[in-house]
Each structure stands twice: as C-alpha cells, then as structure tokens.
C-alpha cells in the first residue's frame, strides 16, 4: 500500500514510524515532513492545507491511503476532497471536524445527546458575557470558539481576569476564532486524554494518555502544545473508560451520524475525571501531539491496520492488542517557547541514540544544515520510550534526553509525576 501522511511534527514522525513497522506499507511519503522524518520516509514539500497540491501528489505517486495528522487540513476540508477523488482517508470531514473547530458546536452536540460536560453559554457581546461572568463568579473558564492553536482558553481565577479575557478575545486577540466566546463552568478533577477510533458508526477505544500542557515543572507557567505525555493514564480505570465510552463518545458519535455528518477518524476526547465521573472538556479531531508518540510506540505495526480499517469503514470486529507496557515521551523545546525563541541551533548526539521498539527519537521541529541537525521550531524533539513499568519508560526516555547534545534545549524533568507519585502532588 502507498501511504501519504500529512503534517510535519513529532506526531507525524510517530505515525510514519508505526506505518513502516507494517509490511503492508510499500511506499511512504510525508508532506511536508521534517529533517527527522526524512531519515525514514520521503518528504514532499507540499502544504497539507493546499488541496490541489495534495491531490496532485497523490496522483503522481499513486497514493492509496492518506493519513491526516493535524487539524488545519481537516477544518479546511482536505479529507473531503481526497475522499471525493476516491482515496481512502484517515481523518474526518470538515463537517465532522467542527467538533474540534468550534467549541460552541461541541457543546450543542453534548446538550443534544446528553453527554456530561461543563455548564456553558455563548456570547458575541462583551456586556452580556461580563454580566454572565459576574452572575456565575470565579473560577470560570473563557474560551475563543474557534481554532486558536491551543491558546484560546483562559482558566480565570477571578471575575476581573475573566472579563479581561472576554475583552481581549472579542477585540481580536485570536482573530476570527474569538469573534464568539464560550464561557464555561470550571470543572475540578484530573485530566486525561481518551483516544477512540470511529468509522462513522463503530467505535474502538485506542488507549489513554496524560499530557503536560504547562511549560514549567509542577504544571506551572503558560500553556504549550504539550511538554510530554505518558500512556496509559492510571486515572482512566476500566470503569472510567467504560463510562467515557458509553456516556460521552458513543452518544456524540450517534448524534453526528443522526445529523448526516458521521465522524470518521480518531476522536480525541479530553476528559476531566472527578470521583470516577468523566466529563468532556474538549474534542480534538486528530491524534494529540505528543500523545501520538506514546500511543504509536505502544501499538507499533497494528496502528496502520486500524487506521486503514477506519478509512475503509470496516472497524467492526477490529481490535487492538495491547501489551502490559507503559510509554513516556519527553519534549525538548527551544528556550523561550511558548513565547519567542531562536532557531538554527546545532543539535548533536542524535545519531547515537538507541533506536528500537523501546526507544525512538521523534523529531518535532528540526532541519538539516551543513549535514547537521538544527532546531527549527518551538517543540524540537520528542524522546519516546517504552518499558514494563512507567518508571522504566521514564528512565529510558530521560536517558535519551541526557544523551542529546543541545545546550539551548529545555525540558520538564517531571513528566509523569502524577502517576509516578501514585496520584498525589509532586
Ligand atoms: P481546551 O483547549 O478546551 O482543552 O482547554 C485547555 C485546557 O484548559 C484544558 O486542558 C484544561 O486544563 C483547561 N480547561 C478547559 N475547560 C475547562 C473547564 N471547563 N474546567 C476546568 N478546566 C478547563
Ligand atoms: N497535546 C495536546 C494536543 O495535541 O491537542
């Protein structure tokens, strides 16, 4: 099978690695890819959101399956156009990807199907939004409705902070994404990510993970795209997973089908779990980054078979075989991230890192210059390891981090602290 993966981050490097473990993968192209991905697959300098270019590439290279990594091409309808052209596509239609592209839409779906989530209201006028905030009190959560690269959410500790967030969003801090704001009840509990494959009607749970969104140790400082993750997430006990599937995922999937916009792809449910009750925080229409890195290392070759089954609408009867294993990924980022940062810093030691089914260095943002790897992004490397226990996975991942020769690189040394401490504080 000839496979095209759209995207160029650590997630796509992990997806590419998993696809290559499967003997069904004959030819693999990643567009645009990155310098790390170029070590295992062909990279094509094509913009994943440019439908015409992607279609031309598929035709030239006789692609058969397209796996869409990031959200932007999904929201732009690239999956729709590729499907119309007769390709098998892993990734939802633009209509179904609204579950990620509009927070108010997801809330409407939850209300329509009774999925537990935070109480909410939507506003386009600052005065009405502020009156609502004052009536509800703090803490309270203010969100830009649209895609804001993970930066459109303010968990406000005070009424004044929430009002300030409303003003900033409606004034255009996130462009059109903030023309409407969603104001939500603050939910307490522990967060976890639940990944479920969906082929329109059938669902298959694909594992759990916990991300670390804050830049600083102990979950402090500004939000990032994610500084590390591990899988499985112990807070997702079998009971919580069953509740999340029955009370949230299945009703949402049924409601999307009922509306004539069936969901096909991976449904990433961000959950808040309190006293065994999962509630929906958000939906993403794709794998998480860096959560994909830990899931792919654990799944290996079978990931491709499962994504292919989703793309062809034959998920019924498929199952994932999980080992009794744990995986962790630690992100190395450029100093200054998630604010401004420099690029072009030389990174050494990568050639000597172990590379097997227990250790992988997935590149998030690197380039090649004069034969050397250099940093070329905020998140640059995701050092990913697997072990019989989370402790073993952590030891292996951090040993890789220490072996990277990049004085400018920053990372969190406490990835997995909740699980490693048995659920307590660090
Ligand atoms: P989102 O982009 O919707 O996932 O929000 C980003 C982060 O904000 C989440 O991962 C949570 O940590 C936090 N958050 C969002 N909504 C809520 C809520 N209603 N209650 C508490 N925390 C929230
Ligand atoms: N790591 C969070 C996300 O991919 O949305």
- At residue 425, the pLDDT reads 37
Mean pLDDT of the chain, nearest integer:
95
* 211 Cβ closer than 6 Å to some ligand 2 atom: yes
Strand 65-68 and strand 88-90: pairing? Answer: parallel
Contacts of 216 (CB under 8 A, 6+ apart): 412
In this prediction the pTM is: 0.95
The reported pLDDT for the residue numbered 233 is 96
Which residue from 10, 14, 289, 362 has its CB within 8 A of the most atoms of ligand 2, so it is best to mutate? 289
Average pLDDT value for residue range 246-260? 98
Say whether pLDDT at 423 is over 70.
no
* Predicted confidence (pLDDT) at residue 426 exceeds the cutoff of 80: no
Which of 51-55, 221-225, 262-266 has the weakest average pLDDT? 221-225
**Mean pLDDT in residue range 133-150:** 89
Can you tell me the distance from the alpha carbon of 33 to that of 281, in angstroms, rounded to the nearest whole number?
30
User: Residue with the nearest Cα to atom 5 of ligand 2?
Assistant: 288
Specify the pLDDT at position 422. 64
| Ligand 1 atom at shortest distance from the alpha carbon of 185 | 19
- On the question of pLDDT at 309 being above 90, the answer is yes
pLDDT in tens, 259-296: 999 999 999 999 999 999 999 999 999 999 999 999 99
What are the pLDDT digits (tens) for 5-36?
Answer: 999 999 999 999 999 999 999 999 999 999 99
Measuring CA to CA, which residue among 310, 329, 321, 302 is closest to residue 396?
Answer: 329
Give the integer Cα–Cα distance in Å for 229 and 213: 9
Burial 34-70 (b: 16+ CB within 10 A, else e): bbbbbbbbebbebebbebeebbebbeebebbbbbbbb
pLDDT above 50 for 364: yes
Query: Residue 81 is inside which H or E element, if any?
Result: helix 78-84
Query: Does residue 49 have a pLDDT over 80?
Result: yes
């Amino acid at each position: 099978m000839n496979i095209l993966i759209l995207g160029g981050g650590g997630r796509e490097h992990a997806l590419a690695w998993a696809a290559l473990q499967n003997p069904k993968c004959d030819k693999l192209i990643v567009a645009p890819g990155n310098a790390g991905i170029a070590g295992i697959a062909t990279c094509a300098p094509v913009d994943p959101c440019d439908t015409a270019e992607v279609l031309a590439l598929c035709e030239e290279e006789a692609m058969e399956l397209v796996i869409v990594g990031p959200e932007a091409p999904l929201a732009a309808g690239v999956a729709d156009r590729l499907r119309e052209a007769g390709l098998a596509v892993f990734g939802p239609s633009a209509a179904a990807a609204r579950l990620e592209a509009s927070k108010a839409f997801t809330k409407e779906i939850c209300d329509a199907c009774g999925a537990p989530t935070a109480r909410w209201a939507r506003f386009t006028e600052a005065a009405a939004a502020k009156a609502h905030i004052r009536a509800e009190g703090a803490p309270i959560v203010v969100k830009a409705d649209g895609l804001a690269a993970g930066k459109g959410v303010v968990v406000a500790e005070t009424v004044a902070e929430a009002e300030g967030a409303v003003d900033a969003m409606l004034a255009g801090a996130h462009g059109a994404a903030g023309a409407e704001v969603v104001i939500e009840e603050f939910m307490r509990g522990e967060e976890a990510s639940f990944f479920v494959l969906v082929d329109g009607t059938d669902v298959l749970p694909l594992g759990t993970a916990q991300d670390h969104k804050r830049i600083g140790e102990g979950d402090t400082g500004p939000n990032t795209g994610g500084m590390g993750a591990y899988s499985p997430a112990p807070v997702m006990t079998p009971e919580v997973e069953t509740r999340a599937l029955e009370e949230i995922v299945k009703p949402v999937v049924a409601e999307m089908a009922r509306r004539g916009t069936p969901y096909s792809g991976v449904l990433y449910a961000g959950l808040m779990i309190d006293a065994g009750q999962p509630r929906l925080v958000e939906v993403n229409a794709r794998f998480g980054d860096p959560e994909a890195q830990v899931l792919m290392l654990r799944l290996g070759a079978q990931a491709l078979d499962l994504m292919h089954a989703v793309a062809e609408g034959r998920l019924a009867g498929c199952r994932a075989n999980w080992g009794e294993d744990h995986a962790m990924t630690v992100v190395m980022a450029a100093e200054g991230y998630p604010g401004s940062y420099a690029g072009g810093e030389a990174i050494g030691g990568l050639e000597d890192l172990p590379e097997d089914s227990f250790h992988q260095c997935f590149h998030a943002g690197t380039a090649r210059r004069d034969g050397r790897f250099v940093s070329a992004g905020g998140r640059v490397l995701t050092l990913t390891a697997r072990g019989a226990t989370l402790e073993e996975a952590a030891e292996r991942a951090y040993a890789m981090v220490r072996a990277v020769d990049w004085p400018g690189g920053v990372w969190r040394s406490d990835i997995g602290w909740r699980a490693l401490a048995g659920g307590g504080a660090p």
